[in-house]
Amino acid sequence: MRKIYSVALNTFRESAREKLFYLVIIYAMVLLVSVFILSPLSVGAAKGKIVTDVGLAGISILGILTAIIVGSNLVHKEVDKKAVLMVLARPVSRAEYLVGKFAGVALSLAVLIGIMTAVLAVMMLLGGAALTPAVFLAVGLSLVEIGLIIAVMIFFSTFTTPLLTSFFTICIFVAGTLSGDLRLFAQKFGGKAMNYVTDVLYFILPNLKVFNLRHEAVHGLRYSASEILLPAAYGVVYTCAMLYFAWLVFRRREFS
């Protein structure tokens, strides 16, 4: 556990030194503040809903983009500079190395999301929006989603370049967001072959729509405990599976 902690702490420090990391924080603040430009266009409770909706969407999208930008190069950079040899020469297994990398990037994103959530909370109070538990639960599910994306990114980074890692991860994100809609479309308008393909994709790709609690948070709708716990458990299981597949690939790589 101490070995994973050391790798994670070093990865967190590397992420914190990335200029893009700070630029995204500033951009997130500017994005959230810009909501007040839209607020005068609405009246009553709609003002608070605009702040909440745009703020939560900004946290989710910027969190995922930051994970891809900051994390796609971490494993490849150490492999390219042979720094990974120094790490693995110590009593650190490849599994511990990958888990440490994941934990470091996840910690970086957790700090980023924490700052963005604090900004959102202040803006919601200033905008007259209700700061309900659903808002924080929506942010929590976004963190689970981001953790899943980080695991996908680490999987691709074990065998391809940073550019392709970013490209493949973005493709997985888009496909995972739309897989449910594509399946419904195929069931209504497609043939057997199209139904089969979309069914396979639906069950293989991560279903990222289950992590979206923004609608309930914005409109104050009821939600059950299963709508929180099941997506969280699904995200953890899928994340662990991706890290396992990443280890299967990484343990076979030869470094010289």
In order along its 256 residues, the chain shows pLDDT tens digits of 777 777 777 777 777 666 666 766 776 776 667 666 665 655 555 667 777 888 888 888 888 888 888 777 776 666 666 666 566 666 778 788 888 889 988 988 898 888 888 888 887 887 777 788 899 999 999 999 999 999 999 899 888 888 888 899 999 998 888 877 777 777 777 777 777 777 787 888 899 989 988 888 888 888 888 889 999 999 999 999 999 999 998 888 766 5
Query: Does residue 89 fall inside a structural domain?
Result: yes
**What one-character DSSP code corresponds to residue 43?**
-
Residue 176 belongs to a domain: yes
| DSSP letter (8 states) at residue 190 | -
The secondary structure of residue 210, as a DSSP letter, is G
Per the structure, the complete domain to which residue 72 belongs is given by: 2-250
Q: What is the pLDDT of residue 58?
A: 84
Q: In whole angstroms, what is the distance from residue 102 CA to residue 88 CA?
A: 16
Is residue 126 included in any domain, yes or no? yes
Q: How far is residue 146's CA from residue 10's CA, in Å, rounded to a whole number?
A: 20
Q: What was the pLDDT predicted at 100?
A: 87
pLDDT of residue 39: 59
Asked, for residue 256, whether it belongs to a domain, the answer is no
CA distance 141 to 160: 29
Give pLDDT, residue 42.
Answer: 58
Judge whether 255 lies within some domain: no
Count of domains in the chain?
1
CB contact at 8 A, 206 and 198? no
Predicted pLDDT of residue 128: 73
Give the CA distances from residue 99 to residues 15, 53, 69, in Å, rounded to whole numbers and listed in that order: 16, 33, 19
Residue 158 within a domain = yes
Q: Which amino acid is at 184?
A: L
